[in-house]
Copies of this chain bind each other. A is one copy, B any other.
Amino acid sequence: MIQSRQVQLLFVLLLALLLGTGFMHGKSLEKDLDLVEERNEIFMETYKKLDPAGMSELYTADAKLLPPNSESVVGSDNLVSYWQAIMDTGISEIKLHTGDVERYGKALVEVSIAELHGEDGELVDKSKYIVIWKQERGTWKMYLDMFNSNMPVE
């Protein structure tokens, strides 16, 4: 026998799905911004500790880092080497200024600014970047990470 309750339950499920996925593409939500800002804090702390292995753990297992003047960097070992190399150039701190965060399905798309500081704290480079965040076992990680400089070629 068909229960009125079953129909109600289905309507609630439909509504939850619509609210949960269908209407949330490309919307900016305070909680998504908070979430990315939190992750960016961890990025900054990890970099400041000059911990390249910690940096690689901020990426999904299938992540792709697309840095300027380099092929794409894929895989945990290559990510460690990449961040070690950046640290070796004397960049002591990377300050992230979280800009726009938009949700598309299960991904968050971030467009922000990064400031790179040298050993004496001087500003070495100002970059813009796109990060696509995805959840991996409950933790938001970088799936695509691309940046380039805002400064003219010297």
- Which residues of A come within 8 Å of B, CB atoms? 2-4, 6-7, 10-11, 13-14, 17-18, 20-22, 24-26, 64, 66-72, 103-107, 109, 111, 128, 130, 132, 134, 144, 146-153
Contact = CB atoms under 8 A, between A and B. Distances in A.
Helix, strand, loop or mixed for chain A's interface?
mixed
A130 B107 contact: no
A77 to B, nearest CB: 20
B144 A26 contact: no
Given A17-B21, A144-B111, A152 B7 contact: no
CB-CB nearest 8 A-B residue pairs: A105-B105, A25-B105, A104-B104, A25-B106, A68-B148, A104-B105, A10-B10, A104-B107
Contacts of A14: 10, 13-14, 17
A26 B107 contact: yes
